[in-house]
Protein backbone atom coordinates (compact mmCIF):
# COMPACT_ATOMS: atom_id res chain seq x y z
CA UNK A 1 0.00 0.00 0.00
CA UNK A 2 1.40 3.37 -0.95
CA UNK A 3 1.44 6.48 1.21
CA UNK A 4 1.84 8.83 -1.74
CA UNK A 5 -0.42 11.86 -1.41
CA UNK A 6 -0.90 12.20 -5.16
CA UNK A 7 -0.87 8.55 -6.21
CA UNK A 8 -4.10 8.75 -8.24
CA UNK A 9 -2.82 11.75 -10.19
CA UNK A 10 0.59 10.11 -10.63
CA UNK A 11 -1.05 6.87 -11.77
CA UNK A 12 -3.08 8.75 -14.39
CA UNK A 13 0.02 10.65 -15.54
CA UNK A 14 1.98 7.40 -15.91
CA UNK A 15 -0.89 5.78 -17.83
CA UNK A 16 -1.06 8.81 -20.15
CA UNK A 17 2.72 8.67 -20.60
CA UNK A 18 2.55 4.98 -21.53
CA UNK A 19 -0.24 5.65 -24.03
CA UNK A 20 1.62 8.59 -25.56
CA UNK A 21 4.84 6.54 -25.70
CA UNK A 22 2.97 3.87 -27.64
CA UNK A 23 1.58 6.48 -30.04
CA UNK A 24 5.01 8.08 -30.51
CA UNK A 25 6.57 4.66 -31.13
CA UNK A 26 4.03 3.89 -33.85
CA UNK A 27 4.65 7.32 -35.35
CA UNK A 28 8.39 6.70 -35.47
CA UNK A 29 7.78 3.35 -37.18
CA UNK A 30 5.50 5.02 -39.77
CA UNK A 31 8.09 7.77 -40.35
CA UNK A 32 10.81 5.18 -40.86
CA UNK A 33 8.62 3.25 -43.31
CA UNK A 34 7.74 6.39 -45.27
CA UNK A 35 11.40 7.32 -45.50
CA UNK A 36 12.30 3.84 -46.81
CA UNK A 37 9.44 4.02 -49.32
CA UNK A 38 10.58 7.46 -50.48
CA UNK A 39 14.17 6.35 -50.92
CA UNK A 40 13.16 3.17 -52.78
CA UNK A 41 10.72 5.06 -54.97
CA UNK A 42 13.27 7.72 -55.87
CA UNK A 43 15.95 5.11 -56.58
CA UNK A 44 13.67 3.05 -58.81
CA UNK A 45 12.42 6.12 -60.66
CA UNK A 46 15.99 7.31 -61.20
CA UNK A 47 16.83 3.94 -62.77
CA UNK A 48 13.74 4.20 -64.98
CA UNK A 49 14.70 7.77 -65.95
CA UNK A 50 18.24 6.70 -66.82
CA UNK A 51 16.93 3.92 -69.07
CA UNK A 52 14.45 6.30 -70.74
CA UNK A 53 17.12 8.93 -71.40
CA UNK A 54 19.55 6.30 -72.75
CA UNK A 55 16.90 5.02 -75.18
CA UNK A 56 16.11 8.58 -76.27
CA UNK A 57 19.79 9.29 -76.91
CA UNK A 58 19.90 6.34 -79.28
CA UNK A 59 17.06 7.93 -81.28
CA UNK A 60 18.78 11.28 -81.71
CA UNK A 61 19.76 14.52 -80.00
CA UNK A 62 16.42 16.32 -80.32
CA UNK A 63 14.48 13.35 -78.89
CA UNK A 64 17.05 13.05 -76.09
CA UNK A 65 16.67 16.73 -75.13
CA UNK A 66 12.87 16.51 -74.97
CA UNK A 67 13.00 13.25 -73.04
CA UNK A 68 15.61 14.63 -70.65
CA UNK A 69 13.51 17.71 -69.93
CA UNK A 70 10.29 15.71 -69.46
CA UNK A 71 12.01 13.05 -67.33
CA UNK A 72 13.68 15.68 -65.14
CA UNK A 73 10.34 17.41 -64.54
CA UNK A 74 8.57 14.16 -63.63
CA UNK A 75 11.50 13.17 -61.41
CA UNK A 76 11.35 16.46 -59.50
CA UNK A 77 7.58 16.19 -59.11
CA UNK A 78 7.93 12.67 -57.68
CA UNK A 79 10.76 13.73 -55.39
CA UNK A 80 8.73 16.70 -54.16
CA UNK A 81 5.70 14.49 -53.46
CA UNK A 82 7.77 11.92 -51.56
CA UNK A 83 9.47 14.64 -49.50
CA UNK A 84 6.08 16.20 -48.66
CA UNK A 85 4.84 12.83 -47.34
CA UNK A 86 7.96 12.39 -45.20
CA UNK A 87 7.72 15.96 -43.85
CA UNK A 88 4.04 15.50 -42.97
CA UNK A 89 4.80 12.29 -41.08
CA UNK A 90 7.82 13.89 -39.38
CA UNK A 91 5.66 16.80 -38.23
CA UNK A 92 3.08 14.43 -36.73
CA UNK A 93 5.81 12.40 -35.06
CA UNK A 94 7.42 15.55 -33.65
CA UNK A 95 4.07 16.54 -32.15
CA UNK A 96 3.75 13.08 -30.57
CA UNK A 97 7.27 13.33 -29.13
CA UNK A 98 6.56 16.83 -27.78
CA UNK A 99 3.43 15.50 -26.05
CA UNK A 100 5.52 12.68 -24.58
CA UNK A 101 8.06 15.20 -23.29
CA UNK A 102 5.24 17.22 -21.69
CA UNK A 103 3.96 14.08 -19.95
CA UNK A 104 7.45 13.35 -18.65
CA UNK A 105 7.71 16.89 -17.29
CA UNK A 106 4.33 16.46 -15.59
CA UNK A 107 5.48 13.21 -13.96
CA UNK A 108 8.69 14.88 -12.80
CA UNK A 109 6.68 17.75 -11.30
CA UNK A 110 4.40 15.33 -9.47
CA UNK A 111 7.42 13.43 -8.18
CA UNK A 112 9.09 16.64 -7.01
CA UNK A 113 5.91 17.75 -5.22
CA UNK A 114 5.70 14.33 -3.56
CA UNK A 115 9.33 14.56 -2.42
CA UNK A 116 8.72 17.98 -0.88
CA UNK A 117 5.53 16.79 0.84
CA UNK A 118 7.30 13.72 2.20
CA UNK A 119 10.19 15.82 3.50
CA UNK A 120 7.83 18.26 5.22
CA UNK A 121 5.96 15.38 6.86
CA UNK A 122 9.24 13.81 7.94
CA UNK A 123 10.45 17.06 9.48
CA UNK A 124 7.10 17.48 11.27
CA UNK A 125 7.38 13.95 12.66
CA UNK A 126 10.96 14.52 13.78
CA UNK A 127 9.94 17.80 15.41
CA UNK A 128 7.16 16.04 17.32
CA UNK A 129 9.55 13.31 18.46
CA UNK A 130 12.15 15.91 19.40
CA UNK A 131 9.72 18.00 21.45
CA UNK A 132 8.30 14.98 23.29
CA UNK A 133 11.70 13.76 24.42
CA UNK A 134 12.50 16.55 26.89
CA UNK A 135 12.90 19.17 24.22
CA UNK A 136 15.96 17.65 22.71
CA UNK A 137 17.89 16.87 25.85
CA UNK A 138 21.17 15.44 24.76
CA UNK A 139 22.39 12.25 26.30
CA UNK A 140 26.15 12.09 26.58
CA UNK A 141 27.65 8.74 25.81
CA UNK A 142 31.07 8.12 27.34
CA UNK A 143 33.40 5.62 25.84
CA UNK A 144 36.15 3.89 27.76
CATH number at residue 81: 1.20.120
Residue 114 domain flag = no
Tell me if 16 sits within 8 A of 109, measured CB to CB: no
Q: How many domains does the chain have?
A: 1
Distance from CA of residue 12 to its chain's centroid? 20
| pLDDT range class, residue 60, cuts 50, 70, 90 | confident
- The 10s digit of each residue's pLDDT in 72-131 is 888 888 888 989 999 999 999 999 999 999 999 999 999 998 889 889 988 998 888 888
Q: Does 76 fall in a domain? A: yes
- The pLDDT of residue 35 is 93
* 143, part of any domain: no
Q: Which residues contact 41 (CB under 8 A, 6 or more apart)?
A: 78, 82
Write down the pTM of the prediction: 0.68
117 lies in some domain:
no
For residue 62, pLDDT over 60 is answered with yes
Does some domain include residue 2? no
- Where is pLDDT greater, at 51 or 13? 13
Amino acid sequence: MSNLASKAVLTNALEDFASDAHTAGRGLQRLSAKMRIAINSIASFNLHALCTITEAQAKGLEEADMTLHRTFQVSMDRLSLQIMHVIAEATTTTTDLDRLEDRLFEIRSLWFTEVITTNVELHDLLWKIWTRTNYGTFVTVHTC
